[in-house]
Amino acid sequence: MKSKNLTGIIVSAIFSILILNFQFIYIFTDVNYYTQEYSFQNDSSKEINKIKSAVAGSLDLDETSTSGLWVWVESDDWITFEFWTIPSTVIEVSFVDETEWNTKPKDGIFTNGTFWGEGSEGNGIFYPSHEGTWIIVFRNPTYASTEVYYNIEISPLIILNPSLSTTAYTDSTLEITWKSNLGAWVNLELYKGNSFKSTLLYHTYNDGYASAYIPEDFSEGDNYKVKITDENSGEFDFSEQFSIRHPTIEIVYPFQDDVYIPHTTRSIIWLGLGINSSVNIELYLNSTKILQISNETSNDGEFRWTVWQGEEYAQNTYSTYQIQIKDINAQKYIGSSLFFTITKERYLSILTPTSNNSFKTGNSLNISWETDSTAYKVNIRIMQENIIIENITDVRNNGFYQWKIPSDFKNGTNYYLRIEAPDNSVNATSELFTIEYIPRLKVSGYNIPLFSIFIGLMVGIFTFRYKKKDDNSYLKIKLEKTRV
């Protein structure tokens, strides 16, 4: 009896284990199927039933699932939205109409909707193509559940500019743009934080664009907002916060204690914000204007200046120069540089060659000069009637250079030198000198003066004749000895 009971217990246990194993296999297979075919969570409770309304809330988004947030829009409405996930999970966001939603693709990806993007958080504006029900689709492609928090607004009025990146300037105009399907007239107001600041435009046409003047006495700040209100319905919208600044001109270069040398080229660099498109540039010494550098130049932030302080000040070095830049149409906006130095005008004097010196081709010409220029090298040009005959560059600025006159230079009495520093700080021109061409015979790559050849021939002939005379005398003496 006990044996039969034990047998029954064993059989029952084996049967139970088989059933549990079967259930485990079934559940596991079902889970796999669930992860492959996205679930659709129709959150009709989240539907926004009223036009021109806003809603904030959250919804659970299971692993590998898709949820939709239903909204109703009229023609020309748009949807502004923001979302974030907790825990942070990268999800996909799309917009589809009701017909597309009902297709419920197995992979959760709608082919005819509008894919906004993906991320763990984000915000944007969506413009539906037609009136009706639209669904904001949140798709979770991961194997981890998350909760999506959202703020949704369906609005017939939205301000596009100014935005967070906008900086407006006092004493100038602010460009304002918006979209609206409301009445014909709107009012535009300016707020600082939550406080009313001023009415920008009253009873202006609702065409989506306006230009409003920002008074000069407004304080600077980063929390200004524009409010647009429909006169008929009272519907309104605030822009994003933006900044208001005073116009400024900040000179970057010359920098404090910079040293400029007359006739060199330097850059004047500045940052002109909130001013007009053109400026003028002036040079000051001890707060007194001494030179107009430019009557008008573009407000592009850089001007290439050939340094010059005027003849009256060129023979002295001063360290109290300043550059001033002014708005060409509003001279009250001025930028001044820090003090910098302009040295006295550098000099360079050519010592040799001098007037009426004469040189022969193939010989050397000693060039010498003196200068107070700090330039490391100079360039030497051999000139004739404003034409560069030979250009000798990168010559050490030590006051001396030996130049071998090429053998093919032509005769001329109007040669001269020009020596200048590469930075244009100094230059000088010599007096006229002469180069005399000496004809030469080329033998095996060597240039031999014809005069030298003539002298060589004459010496050779004389030597031969003298030797021949000596030979004849020797023969005559020998014959006489033989006769004796």
Nearest-CA neighbor of 271 among 302, 242, 293, 295? 302
Q: At 188, is the pLDDT very low, low, confident or very high (cuts 50, 70, 90)?
A: very high
Range of lowest pLDDT (149-158, 278-287, 293-302): 149-158
Alpha-carbon distance 452 to 459, whole Å? 11
Mean pLDDT of the chain: 83
Mean pLDDT of 344-373: 93
Q: What is the pLDDT of residue 374?
A: 87
pLDDT at 333 over 80: yes
Q: What is the pLDDT of residue 481?
A: 47
Q: What is the pLDDT of residue 70?
A: 83
Domain 348-438: CATH superfamily is Immunoglobulins (2.60.40.10)
pLDDT at 17 over 80: no
Determine how β-strand 334-336 pairs with β-strand 288-298: unpaired
Q: At 49, is the pLDDT very low, low, confident or very high (cuts 50, 70, 90)?
A: very low
For 359-416, the three-class secondary structure string (H helix, E strand, C coil) is EECCCEEEEEEEECCCCCEEEEEEEECCEEEEEEEEEECCCEEEEECCCCCCCEEEEE
Domains 158-245 and 248-342 share a fold: yes
Mean pLDDT of 318-339: 94
Provide the residue ranges of all domains of the chain, joining segments of one domain with +.
39-155, 158-245, 248-342, 348-438, 451-484
Mean pLDDT of 168-195: 92
pLDDT at 79 over 70: yes
Q: At 447, is the pLDDT very low, low, confident or very high (cuts 50, 70, 90)?
A: low
Q: What is the pLDDT of residue 51?
A: 34
Helices (H) and strands (E) in the chain, counts: 3, 38
Q: What is the pLDDT of residue 155?
A: 76
Higher pLDDT, 449 or 337: 337
pLDDT at 131 over 90: no
CATH class of segment(s) 248-342: mainly beta
Alpha-carbon distance 36 to 210, whole Å? 53
Range of lowest pLDDT (339-353, 393-407, 457-471): 457-471
Q: What is the pLDDT of residue 44?
A: 39
Range of lowest pLDDT (158-162, 170-174, 452-456): 452-456
pLDDT at 209 over 70: yes
Return phi, psi of residue 66, to 5°. -130, 130
pLDDT at 26 over 50: no
pLDDT at 52 over 60: no
Q: What is the pLDDT of residue 158?
A: 85
Q: At 455, is the pLDDT very low, low, confident or very high (cuts 50, 70, 90)?
A: low
Q: What is the pLDDT of residue 36?
A: 31
Q: At 470, is the pLDDT very low, low, confident or very high (cuts 50, 70, 90)?
A: low
Q: What is the pLDDT of residue 465?
A: 59
CATH class of segment(s) 39-155: mainly beta
CB atoms within 10 A of CB 404: 10
Identity of the highest mean pLDDT range in 28-32, 182-186, 388-392: 388-392
Higher pLDDT, 324 or 98: 324
> 405 Cβ partners below 8 Å, 6+ apart?
359, 360, 361, 362, 363, 364, 365, 435
Mean pLDDT of 108-132: 89
Higher pLDDT, 478 or 330: 330
pLDDT of 365-400, one tens digit each? Answer: 999 999 998 889 999 999 999 999 999 999 999 999
Mean pLDDT of 273-282: 94
Alpha-carbon distance 55 to 226, whole Å? 23
Q: Are 275 and 289 in contact (CB under 8 A)?
A: no
Range of lowest pLDDT (8-17, 30-39, 277-286, 295-304): 30-39
Range of lowest pLDDT (20-29, 86-95, 205-214, 325-334): 20-29
Mean pLDDT of 423-438: 92
Alpha-carbon distance 168 to 239, whole Å? 14
CATH class of segment(s) 158-245: mainly beta
